[in-house]
A and B are shown apart, each in its own frame.
Chain A
């Protein structure tokens, strides 16, 4: 038995039959079936999703220290790797922790995607192939063909509005999951992902049946809800959090700086727009980088970066748990 046949037996077959059976229970509405099954699957996978999001958050929290190590051991990759491993060990963070739960979820997403494509049977040959996956449950034969009409949609054809909604929901998930970073490289990577992913999925949605786009939208909405439940944050979408971040991040900077203009700017930003907050953040970051090149204070940096992530908990944790065995004293003071 080749791997394709095994996949069909353990993943695709069950998913297809559940989809068809469920559509019969849900009064023949295949659109509703896609929504309900997506919710069920995401609920079942919630522990894995939570694990992944927590691990991602923990990795984000470590980014300042990792950046510091990279800077410190830029010319010694062996030493850098050792130090990074040591840091992961000390922090109890596993880089695989972000990927493993996501990888475990991938087969289910792929099976769901393939099932929708087959059950909607865009081409006649596609529908013919569906027969080999059908169980001999009477409900399965009764439910076919599934009703491809849902709201204004023909689930078997692409839909422009739904494609835009996919892009928009994907953009929100990307914004929520990407922490505002003070590292220019990380920032540009995050910005790139925030733009590229929605564009890609909008393109896919314009190419594939809208049934699949419906699945992506529901899945994105669930991701947004879970993300908010876990992080209690709207990520970089959250303007008040930005303000709080700035306020929490730089009191020392505000007190220590002799730059009167900067002080005034920090004070005014409390009522400022998101754009102003971002501009200020960028200025402070650049300033910090210059200071770091002269000699950094890990503790201060940690506080800034944690706050930059918009995660109150990580910010607090960073303040509560200074790393032992490291020089925490500020060289700037």
Chain B
């Protein structure tokens, strides 16, 4: 009997160790990487940064905290998503948006929060009860209406005064990318390889059929001069006529060029004076002529790029995933490594008043870096 007891105890201990080992291996490794990659936004002397379960307003000059708010715990994600936890800090992928004295944050679990920029008080949340289908892409606010795409496939136009739905369109696709608003048309790219154009007045589709690529689209479409540019995970950049959804040109792995992309276009490309700067996960930035899709050159950065680049004066600022910050001179397309953070960067960069703001993940910091010298002006421990 005593022997049996010992065996039972040993078996229970062994089982517990196995369970803990397997769960911790899965949760701590990249098996479940769910940190979020929200960037920051600057408005009127204040920078707003969203991190896991938190929103902070900082003085942009020195990084001191003006206010900080805990975002309510996420109870929507399944045990698989939250790695066995039924309630966890809200994960945020979308950049915060400031509009008319209110800062808006959308969570991966599917809730939008509106805080007063002045006091940091929560003004409202949508939906008040429950969740929408998860938000990864950013929010677009224009003329009193908020547009957002939920992971589950629904595009919503919301009146931000009343929090009433103006219209909804179900794409039936998975939506990860931020929408792009150009005039009266909202462009929505889907994980299921399609690009939709929606009339914001009616909520109806504008094109006869969505444009189709060969890979998922997670980068936001870029609208410029009547053309919509999209980077796809099929290793291609597409230029599409914004009026009819017809393909104008495509630059891809099959193109007849000196350098061709070998991995995903995850980051949103940047269009500067008729030239597209498209960072790729293969560690190159492909510089393409926006009128015909011809490759001008490709610059090797030695590490994958998934964060969206920004324009600073006449330079395109790009960060690699391992935290190397490059500036690309748009006049001659030469690169210059001006700062190495040695931290993981997946969030969009932002720029204001000569300062580049970089939100690192895993070890969560917000860095304010002088865009010319690469000197760290200040940094804030977001975690």
Asked if B79 and A207 make an inter-chain contact with CB atoms under 8 angstroms apart, the answer reads yes
Q: How far is the CB of A244 from chain B (nearest CB, A)?
A: 29
Q: Are A141 and B31 in contact (CB under 8 A)?
A: no
Q: Does A124 contact B304, Cβ atoms closer than 8 Å?
A: no
| B87 → chain A closest CB, angstroms | 15
* Cα-based distance from A134 to B263 in the complex (angstroms): 8
By size class, the interface of chain A is: 35 or more
A118 adjacent to B18 (CB under 8 Å) = no
Stretch at the interface among A125-133, A249-257, A273-281, A291-299: A125-133
For residue A184, which residues in chain B have a CB less than 8 angstroms away from its CB?
Answer: 3-4
Q: Let me know if B275 is at the binding interface, CB within 8 A.
A: no
Q: Which residue of B lies closest to A199 (CB)?
A: B15
- Tell me whether B216 and A124 are in contact (CB under 8 A): no
Of residues 224 to 258 in A, which have CB atoms within 8 Å of B's CB atoms?
none
Minimum CB–CB distance for A213 against chain B, Å? 11
Q: Tell me which residues across on chain B come within 8 A of A165, comparing CB atoms.
A: none
Q: Which of B22-30, B58-66, B117-125, B293-301 contacts A (4 or more CB under 8 A)?
A: B22-30
Q: Is the C-beta of A31 less than 8 angstroms from some C-beta in chain B?
A: no
Q: Are B7 and A129 in contact (CB under 8 A)?
A: no
Q: Which residue of B lies closest to A188 (CB)?
A: B4
* Max chain A C-beta neighbours (<10 A), residue from B11, B23, B84, B346: B11
Asked if residues A125 and B304 are in contact (CB atoms below 8 Å), the reply is no
User: A16 to nearest B CB, angstroms?
Assistant: 12
B35-56 CB contacts (< 8 Å) to partner A: 35-37
Tell yes or no: A203 within 8 A of B by CB. yes
* Cα–Cα distance between A189 and B218 once the two chains are bound (Å): 52
B7 touches A192 (CB 8 A): yes
Q: At the interface, yes or no: B34 with Cβ under 8 Å from chain A?
A: yes
> In this complex, which of A123, A189, A199 has the most chain B Cβ atoms within 10 angstroms of its Cβ?
A123
Query: Is the C-beta of B103 less than 8 angstroms from some C-beta in chain A?
Result: no
Contact, CB under 8 Å: A207 / B84? yes
In the bound complex, residues from chain A placing their C-beta under 8 Å from that of B37 are 125
Interface residue? B302 (CB, 8 A) = no
* Chain B residues within CB distance 8 Å of chain A: 3-4, 7-8, 11-12, 15, 18-19, 22-23, 26, 30-37, 78-81, 84, 93, 108, 136, 174, 176, 191-192, 214-216, 218, 233-235, 253, 262-264, 266, 281, 304, 306, 346
Interface residues of A (CB under 8 A from B): 114, 117-118, 122-126, 128-129, 131-132, 134, 136, 138, 141-142, 144-145, 156-158, 184-185, 188-189, 192-193, 196, 199-200, 203-204, 206-209
